[in-house]
Amino acid sequence: MAGNDWINSYLEAILDVGPGLDDAKSSLLLRERGRFSPTRYFVDNVIGFDETDLHRSWVKAQATRSPQERNTRLENMCWRIWNLARQKKQLENEEAHRVAKRRIEREKGRREAVADMSEDLSEGEKGEPFSDVSAHGDSHRGRLPRMSSIDAMEAWANQQKGKKLYLVLISLHGLIRGENMELGRDSDTGGQVKYVVELARALASMPGVYRVDLLTRQVACPEVDSSYGEPTEMLASHNSDNATDEIGESSGAYIIRIPFGPKDKYIPKELLWPHIPEFVDGALSHVIQMSKVLGEQVGGGHPVWPVAIHGHYADAGDSAARLSGALNVPMLFTGHSLGRDKLEQLLRQGRLTKDEINTTYKIMRRIEAEETSLDSSEVVITSTRQEIDEQWRLYDGFDPVLEKKLRARIRRNVSCYGRFMPRMFVIPPGMEFNHIVPHEGDIDGETEGGEDHQRSPDPPIWTEIMRFFTNPRKPMILALARPDPKKNLTTLVKAFGECRPLRELANLTLIMGNRDNIDEMSSTSASMLLSIIKMIDKYDLYGQVAYPKHHKQVEVADIYRLAAKTKGVFINPAFIEPFGLTLIEAAAHGLPMVATKNGGPVDIHRVLDNGLLIDPHDQQSIADALLKLVADKQLWAKCRANGLRNIHLFSWTEHCKTYLSRIASCKPRQPGWLKNDDDDENSESDSPSDSLRDMQDISLNLKFSLDGDKENDNSKLEHAVLSYAKGVGKRTVSGEKSEQLKFPALRRRTHIFVIAIDDDDIGSLFENVKKIFKAVENEKTEGSIGFILATSLRMAEIHSFLVSKGVNPSDFDAFICNSGADLYYSSSHSEDNPFVFDLYYHSHIEYRWGGEGLRKTLVKWAASIIDKKAENKNEEHVVTEDEEVSTNYCYAFNIHKPGLVPPVKELRKLMRIQALRCHVIYCQNGKKINVIPVSASRSQALRYLYLRWGMDLSKVVVFVGESGDTDYEGFLGGVHKSVILKGVGSSSTNQLHANRVYPLSDVTPTESPNLFQTPDECSSADIRASLGKLGVLKP
């Protein structure tokens, strides 16, 4: 095969060497070494398994004059190739094992899900509430037809005029600004940055959309431009023709930069994970404030909540899941590139172990974030069908087969038994074409009729590129990508260098980002660039290849125009291309394309029909395709014409219209206490809802208050309480009485201390509570500090213990119970019933709660976990349901033998495979399992209190132990301050946090100024000293 002649000559040389290593005369140098250990040689000398490395070794061997040294080198290569083959075989076996295991788990989960849904079919035929339909994104409301004319667009626009939509987009990593984007500056500032900015700008120009916020990270450090430190940047519309009438004080598209993470430091996306909670708190504050502002402008005084929150990439998806859960609004997700797919590729390469991959890329945290995004998203938007069929199907939370079954049941109005699957939609990224005028001339002159007007000067970037070429009039092969191994630019240079006809007919231009000094680039980028420069030297391509050091983002269009002017070709040879926006940009400028057959280019080619697809691993295929388009002028003209004729199908207008129709298919959600007009007037943060405040005066029975809502009788009671609350909510109070009735008390506190210590037993928990009370005794008496208890215990257990220890329940302003499934407030109006239950909290967290279908599946799972070594059948059950403790929103299970229970990640995986969305928590040192709604947790409950009552999160101090329940990490980040009581709860570390999906260190902000650890066996004085160092109290 061409290009592999060295392999043939190498094999011939091996035959010439003679007998193998067992022959005593095989090599003088090997015999001189004494006892030769192949194993030790592999460990010490075999460096990777890159074929180019072997090729270099062969070149050295071939150039060696000494026969003995030559033979030694060849023998060493024999061992290396044998080891290479062994490694590849091992990797193939491991991959086959992973695929088989995943298939078995998926098929088993699918069978169990279908079997569960087949039970009691007569009851299922009664139908599912409408909420299930909207949860799957399937609605008869508005699959809007593709716009085929101006009249259709105007008709659609008229339908949207009455709407005032507020949209929130999130894209965290990289450097984002509206103009002069530094694309290619680093691996985090790439195509995604341009996509989200243009999406925000295009959405804001659509009818019915009032405001679009693009949330990202604020970066204020000397190494980047000062514009990235500006808190707000308005995105001006590039297309005045599409501008809507939605003009107001706060209308339009904005980049909102939220400060989080290390100050004065720009860090890569892999290091952002510990700081995600801090971003969520900042974003929540912005959205609440903006909703109120928009409410004053266009909402008639009522807050205008986001119609959807859209996360881009895994880090933003994780953030969007928390933010949408805190606000109770729909979530959308776009992965851009997916962690499981990257992990599979890296494992196949074999250069890094799974642990090394995770250390470098934090890949397991990224994958869990993507799984969480699937749990919370109503709609997942992809660029191509390939992303759904080949990448998303690798995830536990998405099964295309089960998704179709659920969709069919929804269409028939048949129950899905609590199972939910996000809807996947292919919406290709858009582009604005109005400013693009395809070039009709050639390199020698202007367009026809050019004699009638003065020729415009060439753009400066043309001169910068053409200075590389001996003959700049030859057609230009253009590649635009950063120097990254997955972009496959080295294979392109090889193909060009080894194809003489192509070299004679065309030039090659490589636009590989911007650089000042190769030594200052990242190691990966520098290595790739040096490899390309060495190939240019090897094939003597001087005068035929351009690789300019700098270009501005605004000059990219000029680069496309230059390539089109020379009748050139655009190529994207990436191993896998998620979409390929540059292919659309090139087609809009009249450039035919040659593109990889893996990923999005397949869909683009199907629509545009403007070029050829190639196998990126086949060097000859790349050269043949380029040569065919450059040499055949008729084919070139046909591809150019096809591209220009069909390019409008990828406009931003088309994209946004489809996008908004998908949002319209989601059921609108917002904070529960704001859904009814009767409550709206009292729902502002500075005027708490009377419906809840007046519940203090209702004498609820103790069972309801302590155990949460139960079915049947209690659900009726809840309905009655709500009805009564609405009635009395219309009463007005004034003066002192109004101040006294403000509820809950936490609204009046200067600071809130949240005690979230997961101790081994309730007794030691309250010993630490007393220490904290004593540390701030004076402030507690004054009422400036309030307390919240956040625990996995149920309210009845807490109440019983408070009474037994003589602790006044009113010492706490609120109780977050059952791991975040229930929320209570203390009340001084009744000694018999000192707690008030927040009825709206459940409506806030019930999204995708599986209910009875989930409970039955959990009971089956518990029954399957048995101790085969148990002496009698009564002791063989390891996990049993705790019906007495379970509530409608918390299914509790007792663990009798913690050592025999699978880790929490396995139960989460099982639920996801069966399309059951929930939050599984192992708690009380491995003695209990609480399963609660997916959007609920103890840390999320704090955000609910901020949203509902205006509790300032920056004034919150959370007390935790060294370890805790499996939701422990939720308290370690955020704008609140955390005090870690050293030595408390440490015994649960090994039991509960073993076999985590990702290391706890990946999400712990070790250098955060908001985190402080006390000494061992700390006293009240130590706790107070810690609070002083955090700036909460005066030392």
- pLDDT greater at residue 444 or residue 404: 404
Query: Is the model's pLDDT at 722 over the cut of 80?
Result: no
Instruction: Place 85 in a pLDDT band, splitting at 50, 70 and 90.
Output: low
DSSP annotation of 388: I
Instruction: Place 829 in a pLDDT band, splitting at 50, 70 and 90.
Output: low
DSSP annotation of 166: E
Residue 964 contacts residue 988 (beta carbons within 8 Å):
yes
Chain-centroid distance, C-alpha 19: 57
Tally the residues of the chain.
Answer: 1035
Q: What pLDDT does residue 385 have? A: 85
Query: Is the model's pLDDT at 150 over the cut of 70?
Result: no
Convert the pLDDT of each residue in 365-382 to its tens digit: 999 999 999 999 999 999
Convert the pLDDT of each residue in 219-268 to its tens digit: 999 999 999 999 999 998 866 555 545 567 889 999 999 999 998 899 99
> In the numeric block, which tokens belong to residue 791?
């625990």
Chain-centroid distance, C-alpha 11: 48
Query: Is the model's pLDDT at 141 over the cut of 50?
Result: no
Q: What pLDDT does residue 11 have? A: 46
Closest CA to 377 of 307, 418, 329, 336: 329
Instruction: Place 292 in a pLDDT band, splitting at 50, 70 and 90.
Output: very high
Q: What pLDDT does residue 765 have? A: 87
Query: Is the model's pLDDT at 956 over the cut of 70?
Result: yes
- pLDDT greater at residue 764 or residue 1021: 1021
Task: Determine which helix (DSSP H) or strand (DSSP E) holds 331, and give its type and residue range.
Answer: strand 331-334
Q: What pLDDT does residue 93 have? A: 80
**pLDDT exceeding 70 applies to what percent of the chain?**
77
> In the numeric block, which tokens belong to residue 75?
């023998």
Instruction: Place 712 in a pLDDT band, splitting at 50, 70 and 90.
Output: very low
List beta partners, residue 480.
Answer: 511
- Per residue, the 3-state secondary structure of 492-510, as one string, reads HHHHHHCCHHHHHHCEEEE
> In the numeric block, which tokens belong to residue 735?
């003066």
Alpha-carbon radius of gyration of the chain: 32
Instruction: Place 26 in a pLDDT band, splitting at 50, 70 and 90.
Output: very low
Residue 1011 contacts residue 976 (beta carbons within 8 Å):
no
Instruction: Place 1034 in a pLDDT band, splitting at 50, 70 and 90.
Output: confident
Q: What pLDDT does residue 60 have? A: 67
Q: What pLDDT does residue 45 have? A: 44
Residue 108 CA neighbour count, 13 Å, CB half: 11
Instruction: Place 434 in a pLDDT band, splitting at 50, 70 and 90.
Output: low
Q: What pLDDT does residue 108 have? A: 86
**pLDDT exceeding 90 applies to what percent of the chain?**
52
Q: What pLDDT does residue 472 have? A: 94
Q: What's the one-letter identity of residue 598?
A: N
Instruction: Place 695 in a pLDDT band, splitting at 50, 70 and 90.
Output: very low
Chain-centroid distance, C-alpha 687: 36
The mean-pLDDT minimum among 162-171, 452-461, 761-770 falls in 452-461
Helical pair 5-17 and 51-63, crossing angle rounded to 10 deg? 50
- pLDDT greater at residue 54 or residue 386: 386
- pLDDT greater at residue 266 or residue 114: 266
Query: Is the model's pLDDT at 850 over the cut of 90?
Result: yes
How far is 791 from 764, CA to CA, in rounded Å?
13
Chain-centroid distance, C-alpha 894: 33
Instruction: Place 763 in a pLDDT band, splitting at 50, 70 and 90.
Output: confident
- pLDDT greater at residue 946 or residue 990: 946
- pLDDT greater at residue 762 or residue 682: 762
Q: What pLDDT does residue 97 have? A: 84
The mean-pLDDT minimum among 152-156, 271-275, 539-543, 615-619 falls in 152-156
Nearest 5°: the CA angle 587, 592, 595 is: 95
Query: Is the model's pLDDT at 1 over the cut of 60?
Result: no
The mean-pLDDT minimum among 249-263, 434-448, 685-699 falls in 685-699
Q: What pLDDT does residue 487 have? A: 92
Burial 127-163 (b: 16+ CB within 10 A, else e): ebeeebbbbbbebeeeeeeebeeeeebeebbeebeee
The mean-pLDDT minimum among 74-83, 318-327, 502-511, 808-817 falls in 74-83
CA torsion sign, 812 to 814 to 820 to 821?
positive
Q: What pLDDT does residue 65 have? A: 72
Q: What pLDDT does residue 95 have? A: 78
Residues 6+ apart with CB under 8 A from 669: 328, 329, 330, 847
Q: What pLDDT does residue 246 have? A: 55
Q: What pLDDT does residue 17 have? A: 42
Q: What pLDDT does residue 160 have? A: 61
Q: What pLDDT does residue 101 have? A: 85
Q: What pLDDT does residue 743 have? A: 59
Query: Is the model's pLDDT at 736 over the cut of 60?
Result: no
Closest CA to 172 of 212, 214, 216, 213: 216
Residues 6+ apart with CB under 8 A from 290: 166, 211, 213, 250
The mean-pLDDT minimum among 87-101, 726-740, 959-973 falls in 726-740
List beta partners, residue 627.
Answer: none
What's the mean per-residue pLDDT of the chain?
A: 81
Q: What pLDDT does residue 84 have? A: 66
Query: Is the model's pLDDT at 147 over the cut of 50?
Result: no
Segment 171-181 mean pLDDT: 94
How far is 505 from 90, CA to CA, in rounded Å?
44
Convert the pLDDT of each residue in 627-672 to its tens digit: 999 999 999 999 999 999 988 888 899 899 999 999 998 988 988 7
Q: What pLDDT does residue 675 have? A: 55
